[in-house]
Structure 1
C-alpha cells in the first residue's frame, strides 16, 4: 500500500523533479532535513512569512495544499504551523551551485499625454504580435508601425529606464498629479533576449565583473547615440497591460497573479519548486540573509533547483540593492509532509 501511494503521488508531481526535456531523475537529488538544520530558523519572523503564504495559498488546488491552507489560520503560533505541517526538502541538481540574485519593480516618471518631457511611449501589444515572431526592437522603434493606433498606455521621460522596465516586466509610472499607473507584462515581439551587458563586455568597454544595470544605464546616458544603438542590439521588445486593480501601496503581480511582497517573495524555477510553497533562504555573500520566503514568481533567467531571485521592492533604492546581489547559499523548499516523503527515492525509505 505504501509503495502504491508513493507511486501515485510521485507520478502526479513528476514535473517538479524532472529536468527540462525529460532528463533522468538521477540528475536531481532530494534530501529531507529537520528544522534544526536550517541556520537561523528560530530567529525569523514566521508570522510575516505566514501572512505572505496566505496571500496565495488559496490558489493551490492540490488537496494536500488546501488542507494546509485551511490550517494556516487555525494554529496560533506561526512557527509551529510550519514545523507541524511541512518538511524541509533540499533539492539539488548535480554540479550546479546555488545562485541568488535580486529583482525589483521600477518606478518611472510619466504622463497620460505626450509632451516635450514625456516623449517615450509605453505600448500595449498590437494584434499582429500575438501570432508569433514580429518586428525587432529596431524596426518597432524606427518604422512607425506603432504610431497612430492608440496603443500607448502612457509616455515616460527616460528611454533607458523604459528599456529596463521591459527587462523587469512590470512597474509603476508616477504621474504629475502624484497618482500612479501600474503596468504588467502584456506580451513580447517573439524575439530572444540579448544581453546588452554582455555586448559591452564583448566590445571591451567593460569586463564581466564591472557590468551591472546601473553601469549600463550610466554608459547609455553618457553616450546617447551609441547608447541607443546598444539597446537595439536586443531584438526583444516587451509590451504591457495596465494593472489598475492593484493599489499603489501593494506590490506588483507575480506569476500567481497576486501582489508580491518585498523581501518575502522569491522567484523560482517551477520545475523544481511549486509556486506558492514556502522557501527557506540561506544567502551568503557580503550581507547574509536567513529568511522564510514564499515562491510566488518566476523569471526567464531563473532556471534550476538552486536558482532564485529575491524581490527587493519598488523604486530606485530597491533597484540599486537588487542589482548588487549575486550571491551563493542554499535554498530549502518546505513541502507538505506526505508530498515530501513521496518525492524521495525508494532506496532511502
Structure 2
C-alpha cells in the first residue's frame, strides 16, 4: 500500500544483508552507491496529488495546547482511532520498554512512556473514547518544513487467476532472490564519509556475483514461472503496485492478500500521466479511463504504456485473518480504515496519535489517526499525510478525491516530553 505521487510503501525497507556480506563485497557496495542513487527510491509509489504548497523554511516544533483548540473535537468520531491505537499498542508488546517508539521521529519518548495509555485503552467502553484521549494525552500543534497536505490511499480488491489467459495476463511477482538493500547511512558513519551522508539512506540493487548494480527497470523484468503466484488484468496489477498492497479474489470465492515485499528502486513515474500527455488517454488520467483504453488496445499495448514507469513492486501472498482489517503498514500492524495514516517518520514515530484538520468534497475533514505507515510521497515533512480509507472499490473512489491542505496536532502522553 503505498502513498501517492510516489509510493506510501507498506513496509519499511528490508533489513540490510550487509552483516552477512564478505568485506570485498561491502567495498563493492560502497563503490556502486553513487550509481544506484541516480535511480533509487526507498518506497513504493502512490496516487498523484494535485498542486502542492511551496516548501517553507519553518523549523519543526510542537506547541502544547488544549483540546478546545482542536476544531470539532467534541463531535468527531474517535472509535477508528482508538482501534488503531490498540493495534499499535499490541504491536509494541515485544519491544524493549526502554526503546524509543518504532520508525524514528523527533518526539514520543519510550515504549514504557506509552504503556499507561495502552493499558487504559483496553477497557474503554464505546462512547468513552473522548474521555480516554483527554485523560491520557496533551495536544500539540505541529509546525515544520515541507508541504502541509493530506491525500488518501486504499487497498484494492482485484480479480485474479492462478494461471494466465487473454484477460488475466499480468503477473504478481514474488521478491527475487538477487535483490539486496544497501544501508548507505550505516556506511556513512563507519567510513566517516560526507559524500555517503549526502546519498539516499538506503538503496535497492541487484546482486551480480560480487557486485551490486541498479535493479532492472520494469521493461527489463522477466520473472520466471516460480516467481509468479497469481495473474490479473494489467491495469489492476499496476493499481496494486501503486497502492502497495491489495486483496486478490479468485473464482472459487477465496481471497488472499498480495502484500508489499519490495520495490526495484526506481522513482515512480505515472504511466497514466505519460499516456495522457501523449494524447492517447482522453478525459483525464483516471483508472476508469485507463482500463477502458487498455481493453480497447489490448495487453501488448498496455504493457508498452506501463513501461513508461520504470518502478516495479514485488509482492508476497498472505492469508487474511481479519477481513475488517487492512494490510500491515510500515509499523508492522494491520491498518485501520479511517484510523491509520501514513506519515514522514523523520518527524513522527510510528504509533503517534495525530489530529488532522482538512477539507474533503468541500466539507471539513477532521479526524484523529494513528501513524502506522509511510511512503516515498509522504516523506516530505511533518504535515504531509496519507489516510488509509479501507479496502475495495468504494474506498478507492473516496481516496481518489482526497487532496487538501491541512493543519496537524499530535497527542502526546502527559508524562512524555515534547522533544
Q: TM-score range by the shorter chain?
A: 0.7 to 0.9
1:49 to 1:249, Cα distance in 2 relative to 1, 3 A: closer
1:47 to 1:191, Cα distance in 2 relative to 1, 3 A: closer
1:310 to 1:86, Cα distance in 2 relative to 1, 3 A: same
- Tell me if 1:52 matches 2:84: yes
2:388 counterpart (304, 311, 320): 311
The CA distance in 2 between the partners of 1:324 and 1:216, in whole Å, is: 17
Aligned residue in 2 for 1:136: 217
8 Å CA contact 2:171–2:230 kept in 1: the answer is: yes
- Tell me if 1:81 matches 2:132: yes
8 Å CA contact 1:214–1:320 kept in 2: the answer is: no
- Tell me if 1:289 matches 2:370: no
2:327 counterpart (252, 265, 290): 252
Counterparts in 2 of 1:265-344, with a 5 A limit? 265-285=340-360, 286-303=362-379, 304-339=381-416, 341-343=417-419
**What is the TM-score normalised by the length of structure 1?**
0.80
Alignment root-mean-square deviation, CA: 2.6
2:317 counterpart (216, 226, 242): 242
Aligned residue in 2 for 1:126: 176
8 Å CA contact 1:109–1:175 kept in 2: the answer is: yes
User: Following TM superposition, by how much is the alpha carbon of 1:324 offset from its aligned partner in structure 2, in angstroms?
Assistant: 1.5
8 Å CA contact 1:103–1:312 kept in 2: the answer is: yes
Please list the CA deviations of residues 233-260 of structure 1 after superposition, one character each: whole Å capped at 9, or x if unmatched. 1111111011225343432111122211
User: Following TM superposition, by how much is the alpha carbon of 1:197 offset from its aligned partner in structure 2, in angstroms?
Assistant: 4.2
User: Following TM superposition, by how much is the alpha carbon of 1:117 offset from its aligned partner in structure 2, in angstroms?
Assistant: 4.3
Counterparts in 2 of 1:170-209, with a 5 A limit? 170-200=245-275, 202-203=277-278
1:27 to 1:198, Cα distance in 2 relative to 1, 3 A: farther
Q: Which has the higher contact order (CA 8 A, sep 6+)?
A: 2
8 Å CA contact 2:62–2:143 kept in 1: the answer is: yes
Please list the CA deviations of residues 74-111 of structure 1 after superposition, one character each: whole Å capped at 9, or x if unmatched. 565321221122111222224x4421111010111112
Aligned residue in 2 for 1:5: none
| 2:388 counterpart SS class | strand
User: Following TM superposition, by how much is the alpha carbon of 1:316 offset from its aligned partner in structure 2, in angstroms?
Assistant: 1.6
1:246 to 1:256, Cα distance in 2 relative to 1, 3 A: farther
Counterparts in 2 of 1:195-234, with a 5 A limit? 195-200=270-275, 202-203=277-278, 210-224=284-298, 226-234=301-309
8 Å CA contact 1:105–1:171 kept in 2: the answer is: yes
| 2:265 counterpart SS class | coil
The CA distance in 2 between the partners of 1:325 and 1:134, in whole Å, is: 33
Residue range with higher mean Cα deviation, 196-205 or 291-300: 196-205
The CA distance in 1 between the partners of 2:124 and 2:175, in whole Å, is: 46
8 Å CA contact 1:283–1:289 kept in 2: the answer is: yes
Please list the CA deviations of residues 261-293 of structure 1 after superposition, one character each: whole Å capped at 9, or x if unmatched. 111111111112221122112121423222212
1:295 to 1:196, Cα distance in 2 relative to 1, 3 A: same
1:46 to 1:240, Cα distance in 2 relative to 1, 3 A: same
The CA distance in 1 between the partners of 2:412 and 2:64, in whole Å, is: 10
The CA distance in 2 between the partners of 1:300 and 1:282, in whole Å, is: 22
Please list the CA deviations of residues 294-334 of structure 1 after superposition, one character each: whole Å capped at 9, or x if unmatched. 11111221121111111111112211111121112212111
- Tell me if 1:101 matches 2:151: yes
| 1:27 counterpart SS class | coil
Q: Which has the higher helix share?
A: 1
- Tell me if 1:155 matches 2:236: no
Q: What runs of 5+ residues in structure 1 fail to find an aligned partner?
A: 1-24, 344-349
Aligned residue in 2 for 1:12: none
2:67 counterpart (27, 32, 35): 35
